[in-house]
Structure 1
Amino acid sequence: MKITLICVGKIKEKFYRDAIAEYEKRLSRYCQFRIVEVADEKTIESPSDAEANIIKRKEAERILANIKDDMYPIALAILGKEYDSVKFSQHLEQLTFQSSHLCFVIGGSLGLSEDVLDKCKEQISFSKMTFPHQLMRVILTEQIYRAFRIMKNEPYHK
């Protein structure tokens, strides 16, 4: 199985990069895992709705260029469906029957455009809370790793 994360922006903080690298290493036992970073747009403080839409559209073009036909794209969105870790693992296992290449999309600081949300086959949320997109990358990567541990009936922290 292949899993790709398409993310807006680069991770600047070393502690986030280190955490992601650790989970990438652990995931290599279970799947082909990679992260695709697309450039983020410079965002002014408190952009108008029109400015925010322009920024999200530009980021969307970069995201959509990386979603390939063989992928099953899943958007991370605050209004998406929420799962606990066991249900998330079961859901990922079911998705392997539909596609051998799952793709998770994490937007930038303003979120994802409607074009990206429309392209994705589903939307998931990890909380009603808002997280920095850099931290969300760590959380998602850890939860994918945890999902594989659960699928394989291997011990995991509860």
Structure 2
Amino acid sequence: MSGPSRPVDAGRVRDGSINTRGYRRLKTRVNQTRGRPAFFASFTPSDEEDIATLLETFDEVRDEYMRMCRDGDLDAELPVGPMPWVGMNEARPATLRYLYVHHVEEFARHAGHADIIREEIDGAQAAELLAAVEGRPANDFVTPWQA
């Protein structure tokens, strides 16, 4: 990988895979044992990780996650935390339903961040991209994106 998108795009894919697997506790232990720099470094791909490998891992994790969504009991309680960055210093129970809503929020936030960064790089706005993907003709408001 090269260029300025490497830490941003690959880091978001890596973070999404890790969080989807529920490894926040692992990252929290890193934070507690080696400090904040190590915790934040866990969002950055290593030199051995490339975008293809990270996307492959993400696809595998997504399949596991979707199986869990289909088969899970929404009222089941699971331990979450600790998450000292939000003031939760001990694990506490949360329902699977709560965790799904939280994941939707996290994915939406990360997708928004990526969209803002992409727009800064190529200048395309969401409406232009959507019109191009859907094959809609230009109108008074939107012209489909052309690279």
From the CA coordinates, give the structure whose radius of gyration is larger: 2
TM-score with structure 2 setting the length: 0.29
Considering fraction of residues, name the structure with more strand.
Answer: 1
Question: RCO higher in 1 or 2 (8 Å CA, sep ≥ 6)?
Answer: 1
Q: TM-score, normalised by structure 1?
A: 0.28
Q: More helix by proportion, 1 or 2?
A: 2
